């Protein structure tokens, strides 16, 4: 499989007619070579063999500041490829599936370049991408521009939608996203915060990136929601990731902040949290999005890791099964831990679901040689995945499907008896607030930071 991550500028223009371009590909000599190279059983068994491989381009971070999001890529991709060993059936034809994975390097520009390469050079049928706005926004923009269907996940829907110029009167034709929204995050965070007595003063760490800008938005972000719920916000302003967070810490101490919140990658928060301890900033609650998703990131904080809180989009306790494999959330996590000897992480479920939905779309498309037909299959999706039901029903808009969210707290594994059997990890992420999704079981009450 080619990897164009280091390729230079692209000179081959995209065909003016996507459907015509695909009919040409279907009958081209290059495609015949792909079909000839396919395993014999794909060409001889019923249903009848198709003339070419269907290509899925996948972009996500494996290296850089967001590398934690890609830690489970090998495990998920290996499982999906094994499941596709006999191909995928569409309209009575059996198609080999080729998955072209690319490393975004946690860089927006590189993600955009990779997407363009997949579209112009690899001629993929469907693009999928995950892991924060730094990846999904530039990838989606390229697909929208070139008229190729795209599925993304793992970024609050507002940062994906409004961050790309979407509005009440403006939506997108080719790009679709599933994840929770800032309204869900605010509800989960504030529900956790009100369970412990505080002065309701919230200090915000919102950087100058896609998520930070979305979280701080005066219309749909945290500020109006916190005010409506009676919290006082201390926001030192947008900032670049730095080696010195003294200005923010000083502002929080001066305002007597008892609740810390923010959205930072793990390395940036580790630097902040270390300096907060050194400078005597000790909130009662610290709830950080993104940075506290990964067990390795929490372990790196030492004895100041347990007690921190974050959102939980998916865990072994979520009561959902994969429509592709039939496995439930706990079984997927246990299989990952058994195979890799690493602790489960939240992106595992969403990456699995991303491939589940992509394959379901390709199975149902009336004409896999037509981008519009694949797009229409996305719009018609009604699928039960390992992260819950996926359906673009028009709410909050035609391009977005919302998924469940609950609140979690990291605690020492020795204190939690409900973990996966046989695990021997240092900390566990447990569900401490399920107010808005009672179907997802509560595991423990929130405890203040010690």
Yes or no: say if 118 and 127 are a contact pair by the CB < 8 Å rule: yes
90: left (phi over 0), alpha (psi -120 to 50) or beta: beta
* Per-residue confidence band for 378, with pLDDT thresholds at 50, 70 and 90: very high
Q: What does the alpha-carbon distance between residue 20 and residue 203 come to, in Å, rounded to a whole number?
A: 55
* Per-residue confidence band for 3, with pLDDT thresholds at 50, 70 and 90: very low
422: left (phi over 0), alpha (psi -120 to 50) or beta: left
- Does the structure show a pLDDT above 70 at 173? yes
Q: What is the dihedral of CA 430, 431, 433, 435, to 10 degrees?
A: 180
Q: What does the alpha-carbon distance between residue 168 and residue 172 come to, in Å, rounded to a whole number?
A: 11
Q: Is 162 helix (H, G, I), strand (E, B) or coil?
A: helix
Instruction: Give yes or no: residues 168 and 261 share one domain.
Output: no
What pLDDT is attached to residue 419? 60
Instruction: Give yes or no: residues 138 and 252 share one domain.
Output: no
DSSP 382-412: -EEETTEEE---SSSBTTEE----EEEEEEE
What pLDDT is attached to residue 423? 61
Within 13 A of 69's CA, how many CA atoms are on the CB side?
Answer: 28
Instruction: Give yes or no: residues 272 and 136 share one domain.
Output: no
What pLDDT is attached to residue 352? 98
Range of the domain at 417: 182-312+405-433
If one counts the domains in the chain, the total is 2
Residue 186: exposed, middle, or buried by beta-carbon count in 10 A (0-12, 13-18, 19+)? buried
CA angle 144/147/148 to nearest 5° reads 90
Give which of 271, 274, 280, 312 is closest to 410, Cα–Cα: 312
- Tell me the backbone φ, ψ of residue 94, rounded to 5 degrees: -100, 115
The answer as to whether 441 is a domain residue is no
What pLDDT is attached to residue 342? 94
Instruction: Give yes or no: residues 167 and 208 share one domain.
Output: no
Report residue 401 CA to chain centroid gap.
13
DSSP 348: H
Yes or no: say if 80 and 99 are a contact pair by the CB < 8 Å rule: yes
Yes or no: say if 176 and 399 are a contact pair by the CB < 8 Å rule: yes
The answer as to whether 365 is a domain residue is yes
Yes or no: say if 208 and 342 are a contact pair by the CB < 8 Å rule: no
What percent of the chain is modeled with pLDDT above 90? Answer: 80
Q: Which helix (H) or strand (E) holds 178?
A: strand 175-178
Yes or no: say if 400 and 392 are a contact pair by the CB < 8 Å rule: yes
Q: How many CB atoms lie within 10 A of CB 35?
A: 17
In sequence order, the 6+-apart residues with CB closer than 8 A to the CB of 411 are 306, 307, 427, 428, 430, 444, 447
Cis status of the peptide bond prior to 47, with omega within 30 of 0: yes
- Does the structure show a pLDDT above 60 at 345? yes
What pLDDT is attached to residue 417? 66
Instruction: Give yes or no: residues 117 and 132 share one domain.
Output: yes
Tokens 């080696």 belong to which residue? 243
Instruction: Give yes or no: residues 397 and 421 share one domain.
Output: no
Q: How many CB atoms lie within 10 A of CB 254?
A: 9
What pLDDT is attached to residue 16? 39
Q: Look at 250 and 266; give whichever has higher pLDDT.
A: 250
What pLDDT is attached to residue 416? 74
- Tell me the backbone φ, ψ of residue 446, rounded to 5 degrees: -65, 135
> pLDDT (tens digit, 9 = 90+) per residue, 87-126?
999 999 999 999 999 999 999 999 999 999 999 999 999 9
Give which of 210, 285, 205 is closest to 245, Cα–Cα: 205
What pLDDT is attached to residue 424? 75
Q: How many CB atoms lie within 10 A of CB 48?
A: 12
- Angle (deg, nearest 10), helices 371-379 and 18-27: 110
Q: What is the dihedral of CA 148, 149, 155, 156, to 10 degrees?
A: 110
Instruction: Give yes or no: residues 232 and 281 share one domain.
Output: yes
Residues 140-153, mean pLDDT to the nearest whole number: 98
- Does the structure show a pLDDT above 90 at 418? no
Instruction: Give yes or no: residues 142 and 186 share one domain.
Output: no
- Does the structure show a pLDDT above 60 at 370? yes
Instruction: Give yes or no: residues 357 and 427 share one domain.
Output: no
* Per-residue confidence band for 277, with pLDDT thresholds at 50, 70 and 90: very high
Instruction: Give yes or no: residues 39 and 90 share one domain.
Output: yes
The answer as to whether 449 is a domain residue is no
> pLDDT (tens digit, 9 = 90+) per residue, 278-315?
999 999 999 999 899 999 999 999 999 999 999 999 99
Yes or no: say if 49 and 94 are a contact pair by the CB < 8 Å rule: yes
The answer as to whether 11 is a domain residue is no
* Per-residue confidence band for 354, with pLDDT thresholds at 50, 70 and 90: very high
Give which of 293, 348, 295, 294 is closest to 322, Cα–Cα: 348
Yes or no: say if 130 and 347 are a contact pair by the CB < 8 Å rule: yes
Instruction: Give yes or no: residues 153 and 169 share one domain.
Output: yes
Q: What does the alpha-carbon distance between residue 445 and residue 447 come to, in Å, rounded to a whole number?
A: 6
The answer as to whether 3 is a domain residue is no
- Indicate which CATH number applies to the domain containing 281: 3.40.50.2300
The answer as to whether 438 is a domain residue is no
In sequence order, the 6+-apart residues with CB closer than 8 A to the CB of 367 are 373
Instruction: Give yes or no: residues 71 and 161 share one domain.
Output: yes
The answer as to whether 243 is a domain residue is yes
Q: What is the mean pLDDT of the chain?
A: 89
What pLDDT is attached to residue 65? 84
The answer as to whether 8 is a domain residue is no
């Amino acid at each position: 499989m080619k990897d164009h991550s280091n390729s230079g500028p692209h000179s081959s223009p995209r065909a003016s007619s996507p459907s015509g371009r695909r009919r040409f590909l279907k009958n081209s000599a290059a495609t015949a070579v792909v079909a000839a190279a396919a395993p014999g059983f794909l060409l001889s068994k019923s249903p009848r063999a198709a003339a070419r491989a269907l290509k899925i381009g996948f972009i996500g971070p494996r290296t850089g500041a967001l590398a934690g999001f890609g830690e489970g890529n090998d495990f998920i991709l290996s499982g999906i490829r094994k499941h596709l060993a006999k191909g995928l059936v569409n309209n009575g034809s059996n198609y080999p599936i080729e998955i072209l994975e690319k490393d975004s390097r946690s860089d927006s520009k590189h993600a955009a370049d990779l997407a363009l390469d997949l579209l112009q050079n690899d001629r993929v049928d469907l693009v999928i991408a995950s892991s924060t706005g730094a990846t999904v926004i530039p990838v989606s923009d390229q697909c929208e521009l070139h008229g190729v269907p795209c599925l993304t996940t793992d970024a609050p829907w507002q940062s994906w939608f409004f961050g790309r110029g979407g509005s009440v009167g403006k939506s997108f034709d080719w790009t679709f996203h599933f994840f929770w929204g800032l309204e869900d995050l605010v509800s989960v965070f504030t529900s956790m915060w009100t369970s412990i007595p505080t002065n309701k003063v919230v200090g915000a760490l919102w950087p100058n990136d896609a998520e930070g800008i979305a979280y701080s938005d005066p219309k749909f972000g945290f500020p109006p929601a916190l005010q409506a719920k009676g919290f006082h916000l201390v926001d030192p302003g947008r900032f670049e990731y730095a080696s010195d967070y003294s200005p923010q810490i000083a502002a929080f101490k001066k305002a007597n902040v008892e609740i810390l919140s923010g959205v930072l990658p793990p390395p940036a928060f580790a630097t902040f949290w270390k300096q907060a301890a050194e400078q005597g900033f000790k909130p009662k609650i610290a709830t950080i999005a993104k940075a506290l998703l990964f067990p390795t990131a929490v372990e790196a904080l030492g004895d100041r890791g347990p007690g921190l809180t974050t959102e939980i989009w998916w865990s072994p306790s979520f009561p959902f099964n994969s429509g592709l494999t039939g496995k439930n959330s706990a079984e997927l996590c246990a299989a990952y831990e058994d195979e890799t000897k690493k602790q489960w992480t939240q992106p595992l479920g969403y990456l699995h679901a991303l491939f589940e939905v992509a394959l379901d779309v390709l199975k149902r498309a009336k004409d896999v040689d037509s981008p519009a037909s694949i797009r229409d299959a996305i719009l018609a999706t009604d699928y039960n995945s390992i992260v819950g039901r996926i359906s673009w029903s028009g709410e909050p808009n035609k391009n977005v499907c919302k998924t469940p969210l609950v609140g979690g707290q990291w605690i020492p594994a020795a204190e939690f008896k409900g973990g996966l059997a046989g695990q021997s990890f240092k900390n566990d992420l447990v569900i401490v607030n399920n107010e808005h999704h009672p179907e997802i079981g509560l595991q423990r009450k929130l405890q203040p930071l010690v």
